A and B are shown apart, each in its own frame.
Chain A
């Protein structure tokens, strides 16, 4: 089945700890994105990547880091510098071919502080 897989579904972070959220896609999409969603809020862009080994900061990149070593993978690390990490994290991907292309989402990771 083609799609976007995020893991784990639930994650707990201890204070001072870095945690990494996984996102893998087998859609052969060029672009991948990470969003954060807080209760009752829209999605805010953390980081995005259009091509392997390149990525750009979104609106709320502080306290987060990413890598894009393979086209199909775009892991997000929530560092200890992110003081309020509790949120629903969503990974998305999109083809860059054609003018009007939507983003498709994985089923998300819920991160909480212990």
Chain B
């Protein structure tokens, strides 16, 4: 089993739709979780941090389920500019704050 698993997609949704991605992780010691957004041929950019049950920032909501070891990202009222790959990254728990990245979920928002 991979350490971090994400549905690769692609998810193709119309503008204004609500879309959700899941990410499962195997390291039960993980305390911090991050969602990054990566545009084509660019670097990942931090979207949200999650370390309690969840976090909300505008149209974006991240939820953490420690018992089932997954985190989710919900995007409401999708915009064309939300088209990107979304990477899930749990922290490994080490002193160097290592992250383990999933392969990403590709989202395309259609006009």
Chain A contact residues, CB within 8 Å of chain B = 31, 33, 35, 40-45, 48, 50, 56, 58, 88, 90, 94, 96, 99-108
Do residues B49 and A102 form an inter-chain contact, with CB atoms below 8 A?
yes
B51 touches A90 (CB 8 A): no
Give CA–CA (A48, B42) in the complex, Å: 21
Contacts of A99 in B (CB 8 A): 31-32, 51
Q: Which residues of A contact B101 (CB under 8 A)?
A: 35, 42-44
In the bound complex, CA of A39 to CA of B101 (Å): 14
Q: Quick one: which of B29-44 are within 8 Å of A by CB? A: 31-32, 34, 41-44
Complex CA–CA separation, A105 to B49 (angstroms): 15
Does the CB pair A96–B51 fall under 8 Å? no
Known A-B contacts A42-B102, A105-B44, A108-B42; A50 and B4 likewise in contact (beta carbons under 8 Å):
no
Chain B 74-111 interface 0/1 with A at a Cβ cutoff of 8 Å (1 = within)? 00000000000001010100011111111110000000
Contacts known (A43-B44, A43-B87); A102 close to B34, Cβ less than 8 A: yes
The answer to the question of B66 belonging to the interface, with a C-beta cut-off of 8 Å to chain A, is no
Top 4 closest pairs, chain A to chain B, by CB: A42-B101, A100-B32, A105-B43, A42-B103
**How would you classify the secondary structure of chain B's contact residues: helix, strand, loop or mixed?**
loop
Q: How large is the interface on B (under 10, 10 to 19, 20 to 34, 35 or more residues)?
A: 20 to 34
B17: chain A residues within 8 A (beta carbon): none
State the Cβ distance, A59 to closest chain B Cβ, in Å: 9
CB distance from A111 to the nearest CB of B (A): 14
Among the listed B31, B42, B95, B99, which residue makes an inter-chain contact with A50, where contact means beta carbons less than 8 Å apart? B95
User: CB-CB < 8 A to B99: which residues of A?
Assistant: 102-103
The answer on a CB contact under 8 Å between A90 and B44 is yes
Asked if B46 is an interface residue, CB under 8 A from chain A, the answer is: yes
Shortest distance from the beta carbon of A63 to any chain B beta carbon, whole Å: 20
- A108, B95: Cα distance in complex, Å: 25
Given A40-B103, A96-B97, A106-B43, 6 more pairs with CB closer than 8 A:
A35-B101, A42-B87, A42-B101, A43-B44, A104-B46, A107-B43
